[in-house]
């Protein structure tokens, strides 16, 4: 199978893989956290039931809300789907890698963040404005740290194309243990915790108004609007875990369209993502949420680690 049909089929399969597995990854993290807290916890399939319930519920909209509030869930969901088509999960090269590179991915994340913050302000809610202000302040530190961490891998491959980065590292396994790459991985992991609203930066399981960031912006959403926002957040976490696993440890990635290679690629993807999800759960279970004014200090650590990784690469080399 080759040509346009193969591109369409592979793109759809990758998209469906991330769409279907994102709630499962969130369920695994929640279940692991519950076990650490000596609780039974909900099943790992609970996020699917929650999304189905929200899709059936009535939508309530503030009378002062404009088209921004109503359009944001669909725009955020659509932008996340586009990102899912550009990030390597099972096979390299990504069928639609010609559409955009890692710069496109970063700006698509920023587009979704901007509209969610705008929607938080649109309803006239004090909590929405509070969350939007905090989100934009934190984003000003997150984005430079993310770009530096990813550029460390990009300079190794000589390209910002994610498929080229993953393919280059797959052909040189020794480079995965390069100190620069390990530092960049650490920086991007901290960015992942902050960008997806996890502890110690934010707590996705609480609605305590004085401490929440992401939840404050979506507090006015309900029904299918909230379902699309929550599903987008789960996909965002899955995409970041895919970036961490496949960009820095691209073991098992399929390089051909042979069925056995694709099966191995799927198995490797799920194994790596589940390990990273367990690490996220351990970090959340062993750390308390930081005070808001301490969050920039943690993000500066991510920025410094990413900067040191880039400097170390040019000093030591690949």
CA angle 25, 84, 195 (to 5 degrees): 60
Coil vs helix vs strand at 19: helix
Inter-CA distances, 220 with 85, 113, 132, 202, 298, Å: 30, 16, 13, 18, 29
Q: For residue 10, what pLDDT is reported?
A: 80
Average pLDDT over residues 47-65: 94
pLDDT tens-digit series, residues 57-108: 999 998 999 999 999 999 999 999 999 999 989 888 887 777 778 889 999 9
163 pLDDT more than 70:
yes
Task: Report which of residues 8 and 161 the model is more confident about.
Answer: 161
Is the confidence at residue 318, as pLDDT, over 70?
A: no
pTM: 0.94
Place of tokens 């109503």: 70
* Residue 4's pLDDT band (cuts 50, 70, 90): low
Structure confidence by residue, pLDDT tens digits, 113-156 = 999 999 999 988 888 888 899 999 899 889 889 989 888 888 87
pLDDT at 183 (0 to 100): 92
Query: 85: which 2 tokens?
Result: 């088509």
Q: What is the pLDDT of residues 209-240, one digit of tens each?
A: 666 888 889 989 999 999 999 999 999 999 99
Read off the pLDDT band of 207 (50, 70, 90).
Answer: low
Number of structural domains found in the chain: 1
Pairwise CA distance, residues 198 & 311, whole Å: 29
In terms of residue numbers, what domain contains 95? Answer: 4-316
Q: Which residue has the higher pLDDT, 7 or 143?
A: 143
pLDDT at 78: 96
Q: How many CB atoms lie within 10 A of CB 114?
A: 17
pLDDT in tens, 248-287: 888 888 887 788 888 998 999 999 999 999 999 999 999 9
């Amino acid at each position: 199978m080759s040509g346009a049909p193969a591109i369409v089929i592979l793109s759809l399969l990758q998209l469906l893989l991330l769409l279907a597995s994102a709630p499962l990854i969130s369920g695994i993290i929640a279940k692991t956290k519950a076990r650490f807290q000596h609780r039974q916890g909900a099943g790992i399939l609970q996020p699917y039931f929650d999304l189905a319930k929200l899709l059936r519920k009535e939508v309530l909209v503030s009378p002062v809300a404009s088209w921004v509030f109503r359009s944001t869930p669909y725009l955020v969901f659509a932008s996340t789907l586009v990102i899912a088509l550009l990030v390597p999960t099972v096979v390299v090269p990504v069928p639609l890698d010609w559409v955009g590179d890692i710069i496109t991915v970063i700006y698509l994340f920023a587009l979704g963040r901007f509209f969610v913050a705008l929607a938080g302000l649109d309803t006239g809610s004090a909590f929405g404005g509070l969350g939007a202000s905090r989100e934009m302040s934190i984003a000003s530190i997150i984005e430079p740290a993310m770009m530096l961490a990813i550029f460390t891998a990009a300079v190794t491959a000589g390209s910002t194309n994610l498929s080229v980065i993953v393919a280059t590292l797959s052909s040189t396994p020794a480079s995965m243990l390069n100190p620069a790459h390990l530092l960049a991985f650490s920086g991007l992991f901290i960015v992942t915790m902050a960008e997806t609203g996890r502890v110690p930066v934010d707590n996705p399981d609480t609605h305590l108004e004085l401490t929440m960031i992401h939840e404050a912006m979506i507090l006015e959403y309900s029904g299918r609007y909230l379902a699309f926002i929550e599903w987008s957040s789960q996909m965002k976490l899955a995409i970041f875990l895919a970036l961490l696993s496949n960009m820095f440890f691209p073991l098992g990635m399929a390089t051909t369209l042979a069925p056995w290679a694709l099966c191995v690629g799927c198995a490797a993807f799920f194994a790596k993502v589940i390990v990273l999800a367990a690490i996220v759960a351990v970090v959340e279970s062993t750390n308390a949420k930081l005070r808001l004014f301490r969050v920039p200090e943690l993000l500066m650590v991510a920025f410094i680690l990413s900067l040191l990784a880039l400097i170390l690469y040019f000093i030591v080399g690949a």
